[in-house]
Amino acid sequence: MGSIPLMLLPLIAYNILAIVFGAQWNAEVTSLPMMSGAVWTMTAHDVFLLCTLFVLFIEILKSSRASHSSVLEHILSTIVFVICIVEFLLVDRAATSTFFLMTVISFVDVVAGFSITIRAARRDFSVGTSEL
């Protein structure tokens, strides 16, 4: 259960919201008047990407720990990224900037996961060697 990539959650959420419910990503969620006089507006697109970035943060924290399931998790994260690319190219409701940015975030998850694991393995290897 610990090796399931969390980036699968935004992918499932997007598919439910966009394909099943026909979400309007430009719909205003909230607006806040700023001290400058401008009005900051947050859309459904912004909220979704904010949640996806939070999931990415958790994924990066997960990849920093050493475990036996990390290779499996990297493989599954790569599969999630490939699914995102295929869906972006083939599904009309996924051809949005929201889905594209979610796909980029999934790519960052894959690259960061591999990079952090390699760096941690290099550090662990150097700690384990002794100089004569």
Q: 99-112 pLDDT, tens per residue?
A: 999 999 999 999 99
99 near 110, Cβ under 8 Å?
no
Taking the domains of the chain in order of start, what are their residue ranges?
8-126
pTM of the full structure? 0.83
Which one, of 127, 130, 3, lies nearest residue 65 by Cα?
Answer: 3
Residue type, 96: T
Q: In the prediction, which pLDDT does 129 show?
A: 55
DSSP, collapsed to helix, strand or coil, labels residue 86 as helix
Q: In the prediction, which pLDDT does 3 show?
A: 75
Task: Per-residue pLDDT tens, the chain, 132 aa: give them.
Answer: 567 889 999 999 999 999 888 888 899 999 999 999 999 999 999 999 999 999 999 998 887 776 667 778 889 999 999 999 999 999 999 999 999 999 999 999 999 988 887 776 665 555 555 555
Residue holding tokens 């099943």?
Answer: 20
